Chain A
Amino acid sequence: MILKAEPRTVMRFIEDNFEALSQLYRIQLKKNVIPVENFDQVTRHKGDIVTRRLSAFKILRSVGDDYRLAEEVGAYLGFLMQEFKPLLPEQLRRYHTSIQDVYELLTIRPNLDDKTRSLRLEHLYNEVQSFLDNVTNNTYTLLKRSQRLKVNRQQMTYSERVKEARMLIEQYIDPLNRIVNLNDANSIASLLQNIGSEINLDRMANYPPSVIERYEQLDNLLRQVNTRLQRESDVIRRELTPLIERIKRESEVLGGWLVFLERPLLLTVPDFAKRNPQNIFGDQMAADLKIYMEQFRQHRQASRIKLSEGPVVQETPLLDRQLYRQRLKAALPINDFFTWCLKAIADHPAERQESDLFELTSLLFSSEEQYELVFSGQRQRVKLNEQYYILPLFQVMLKPEEQ
């Protein structure tokens, strides 16, 4: 196959350029081919010799303008890096036909020569092994993809995530589950189980040791099938499906909230509980109170009290006590208090003279402690407004200040 190099040299070349090759592999996983511009980018810092060797060693094949890794190299790189493109369930399902076909070749003619039988057993073995490897790879890849979807490093929008999650479930996970489901009569798992039990019987027949050996191998493998598929099925049931379901639910919730936030005030909201606090007042209380208050409001509008100009109120000016107290003090000592009073009110209007006289007299009592009164014991007759008053005669003087 490779004319110019020893296998070891090729291995060493792959080892030396593993980084570049793994990048190329990832590009091919994503885009199916390696476009020439991506190829140039990856090999930018590599010498001419490396790019030339990639095709000389038949690691890389050109497809039109683009490139593709040789199938075997791709599979090997995938195995090393544990990164695969998940096979479509249809691709896995073809094992159903191929395994069945190879098995029928074994059984359809009972008198096969030993060499052919041995060869066909080997084919069957390879086919089953290849199926198991692919299922394992598929589960593993799907698990990784789901985890990546969960962490959402690529910052996908919610609808994209829902779409991706749904795609994973509908196109890969559910069908994969059907393929490995032992309870489904049409699943490959059931087919392998049937073949297993028949092979088990078959190998008891009288074959030469080389054929018996093949039978033993195949029997061993088929015995493992159950446990291995069961394990894959467990991973799917226990991790993959719930994980995807959670991602789907989470994205649905977020998607819903975003729809809500676009029109937060217009959309109807969930029917929520309402508080019904028990008041000591009934529900009717507020309405009753309103009606009750209303009548007063009405009443005020029809008020009977009219504000109009009534009779002019005669105001009687009071004696300016402040002023007369000063005058009194200025006139001290006074020999005859009432004569002084009559003199002070002589120019007052006649109708006020009487009350003013009493008011002046009260000045003496309001600040009793300041004055000293000396009564003579005599009385005098005084006429004021046609009235006669008999008034005592007394002296008023300031009390000497107390020490």
Chain B
Amino acid sequence: MPEPAIEFREVTFRRPGRSPILDRFSLTVESGEVLVLVGRSGAGKTTILKLVNRLLSPDAGAVLVEGRDTREWEPIRLRRRVGYVLQDVGLFPHMTIADNVAVVPRLEQWPPDRAAARVDELLELVGLPPPQFATRWPDELSGGQRQRVGVARALAVDPPVLLMDEPFGALDPLTRAELHGEFRRIQGRVRKSVIIVSHDMGEAFALADRLGVVESGQLVACDRPAAIAESKDPRVRRLLDAMPAVPRGEEER
């Protein structure tokens, strides 16, 4: 069995003077798998992602990426190997779509024609035809289109690990379902090790290979979606009961 892509070992993280956000939190993401973490707002989901690319460092325990402690990684190298799709996308408003996607290739000093070819490839992949979108500006795009650009940007230098923070949170249900399908299609081709955090159980069922439930800084359940759906744990049931209906995304799997 290959080593896990990401591993949290008994990780504790706290803001000074407050109760811990993560309390001896452990988690494993296998290579090529999509793990969706679900929990209420404030359960520490974003913190988990930021610990992976070392925007934050654990107070106790260790986070391992590709078998190496994040504190041993050179942070710049680590971050360029970990694609990150932010909650509110965070596209650079002063750059065109193509320039936004090409940010990390430029940082890595790719030759311009190689970067340009990669941008075209990625925009095709996320369903934004380059002739139509490459030279446009972020504020000329709809929310769903911006999310796609965010995904393309995170994938630009083909990082083995992808982190997605509520990537489809701000979208209307139709666009959302459409993007869920797109995501499964893209993941089928690129096979990344992915952590997605979401507060929406429906989204989790639509996207996850495995599904984790985070509460009070701990992982209270983590299993295949079907097993989670059967769970008797009251903390899991509360989230399941809040779900409006069986999401359509699930059938697509």
A, B from the same assembly: no
Which residue numbers of A lie inside 8 Å of B, CB to CB? Answer: none
Which residue numbers of B lie inside 8 Å of A, CB to CB? Answer: none
